[in-house]
Amino acid sequence: MQFCDCNLISQTEILDPAVIGTLNVLRSCKKNPELRRVVLTSSSSTIRAREYIDPTLLLDQSSWSSMELCERLKLWYVMAKVSAKKAAWEFAKENNIKLVTVLPSFIIGVFHVTWI
């Protein structure tokens, strides 16, 4: 079995599709006149990648992963999730959409990717 060499994955191969895809879904949702709320399933990685972790710190909607740390460590998946989530919040605010984000920390299921 061949595993991913994440150094070979470019930033734009992950970041751009994540943001563009998220915004495309929100634009489609906006077209529905009956829309009450959008629930975005993201990842707990959007709040956990930090230089210094204080175990007593409560993580909430103001908590974000460090983009600088992610870039330095080439955590493109985390950067993509953070970028998409921030873009979603901005779009929702600009378009008066009630947005809820869910940040699962562990998901069990089949892992479908083409590069494994």
Active site residues: 81
How many angstroms separate the CA atoms of 116 and 34, rounded? 41
As a residue count, the chain comes to 116
What secondary structure does DSSP assign to 3-17, as a single string?
Answer: PP-GGGS-HHHHHHH
Q: What angle do CA 75, 78, 82 make, to 5 degrees?
A: 135
